[in-house]
Amino acid sequence: MLADLLAHPEVEEVCHLRSSFGFMAFHGGGLEEATDFIAQQAAAATGSSYYGIHQPASLKWHVPSHRIDPQHSAPLAKFLDHVDTVITIHGFGRQGFFTSLLLGGRNRILATHVAQHLRESLPAYNIIDDLSNIPADLAGQHVNNPVNRVRHHGVQIELPPRVRGASPLWWDWEGPHPTPHTQSLINGLVRAVNTWDSNKSFMEQDAQ
C-alpha cells in the first residue's frame, strides 16, 4: 500500500507546487531509473508543478498506479488539487518495445501534441500515441490512476531504458550531464508544455 511505502525511512516524497500544469514520477528513484530526474528537469524548465516518490535503489517496491491514492498522502492530494493537467513519467522494458515510447492516459489531445514534439526530438525512436497499439497494462486508462484524477486528465509516458540512459548502450557514458537521448527527450517535453493551450484543448476534448 502507498501508506506503507511512504512510511519507509529511505523513501522521499517530493512536491513542488508551481503552475497548474504538472509532472509526476511516483515510481522514481531506484525503481524506474531516471524517471524522477526527467520529470523534475522538465517541470523546472517550464515552471510546472512536480510530485514524485523517490525510492532507494535497494528497495524496488512497486505500488501499481491505480493504488497511488491521495487518501494516503496529503502532498499528493494537494498536488492533484493544484494542477489541472499532468504528464506522468514511467519506465518500462518489454521485448519488442526497446525503442518505443508509449503515450497513454486519458487526455488524448495532449498525447497527440506531446507525441509530435517527441518525434521531432527523438527521430530514432517509435513514438506511439495510438491506444490500440499500446499494451493495455501500460495505457494508463484506469480511473484511479493519478494521471486521470486531475480536471483535464493527462498523459502517461512509458520510457524504455535506452532513452533514460539506463541501457548498455550507454555503458561508457560518464556524465555529469544526461545522455544525448535523455536530454533530447527533456527538450521535447519542454517544447510540448510551452506550446500547450490547456483551456482551448480541454474545450475541444469536451466537444468530442
**Spatial CA neighbour of 150 closest among 97, 88, 74, 200:** 88
DSSP state of 31: T
Place of cell 516518490: 53
What pLDDT shows up at residue 203? 54
Residue 202 is placed in which grid cell?
480541454
pLDDT digits (tens, 9 = 90+) for 4-51: 999 999 999 999 999 999 999 999 999 999 999 999 999 999 999 999
What pLDDT shows up at residue 192? 98
Q: How far apart are CA 100 and CA 110, in angstroms?
A: 18
Q: Reply yes or no on whether the pLDDT at 204 is more than 80.
A: no
Residues contacting 120, CB < 8 A, separation 6+: 188, 191
Mean pLDDT, residues 56-71 taken together:
95
Measured from the Cβ of residue 163, the count of other Cβ atoms closer than 10 Å reads 25
What pLDDT shows up at residue 197? 84
DSSP codes of every residue in 102-166? EEESS-HHHHHHHHHHHHHH-TTSEEE--GGGS-GGGS---TTSGGGTSTT-EEEEEE-TGGGT-
What pLDDT shows up at residue 3? 95
What pLDDT shows up at residue 175? 77
Q: How far apart are CA 135 and CA 97, in angstroms?
A: 10
Q: How far apart are CA 184 and CA 26, in angstroms?
A: 22
pLDDT digits (tens, 9 = 90+) for 126-182: 999 999 999 999 999 999 999 999 999 999 999 999 999 988 888 888 878 999 999
Q: Which band of pLDDT confidence, cut at 50, 70 and 90, is reported for residue 200?
A: low
Report the C-alpha dihedral over residues 188, 76, 140, 104, rounded to 10 degrees: -20
Residue 205 is placed in which grid cell?
476534448
pLDDT digits (tens, 9 = 90+) for 105-119: 999 999 999 999 999
How many helical (H) and strand (E) elements, i.e. helices and strands, does the chain have? 6, 7
What pLDDT shows up at residue 201? 56
Q: Which band of pLDDT confidence, cut at 50, 70 and 90, is reported for residue 1?
A: confident
If one compares 204 and 84, the residue with the highest pLDDT of the two is 84
Question: Domains along the chain?
Answer: 2-207 (3.40.630.100)
Share of residues in the chain with pLDDT > 90 (%): 88
Predicted TM-score of the model (pTM): 0.93
What pLDDT shows up at residue 76? 98
Q: String of b and e for 182-206 (b: at least 16 CB within 10 Å)?
A: bebbbbbbbbbbeebebeebbeeee
Q: Which band of pLDDT confidence, cut at 50, 70 and 90, is reported for residue 207?
A: low
Helix, strand, coil percent values for the chain (each to nearest 5)? 40, 20, 40
